[in-house]
Structure 1
Amino acid sequence: MNANAASTDQKAFMRLPCISTLVDFVPSMVYHLGEYSRVEQSFDDIEKVWAYNKDGIFAVLEFVRKVGCKILYAGSSTKFGDGGFGRSASPYAWTKASNTELVMNYGSWFNVPYAITYFYNVYGDREIQTGKYATLVALFKEKMRNKEPLTVVSPGSQKRNFTHIEDIIDGLVLVGEHGYGDEFGIGSEEGFSILEVANMFGGDVEMLPERKGNRMTAEVVTDKTKALGWSAKRTLLDYIETLRNSDWNS
Structure 2
Amino acid sequence: MVIEGCPVVHLHDSPDDFACLLKALYNPFYFAGSSVDERIPFNNVTAILRLSNKYDIQPFRQKSIQELKKVFPCTLHDYDAIYPLGTTITLTCHDIIQSILLARACTTLELLPCIYYLMSRFSMKTLLRCHTLLPRDEMEICLLGREKLQEIRETVALSFLLDPKPSQHCSNPTLCERRCLTTLNRTISNTLHLGIYALTTDPELAEILLCGPCAEEKLSAHRAARENLWNELPNYFGLGTWEELRSAQK
Q: TM-score, normalised by structure 2?
A: 0.28
The structure whose residues are more often strand, as a share, is 1
Larger Rg: 2
The structure whose residues are more often helix, as a share, is 2
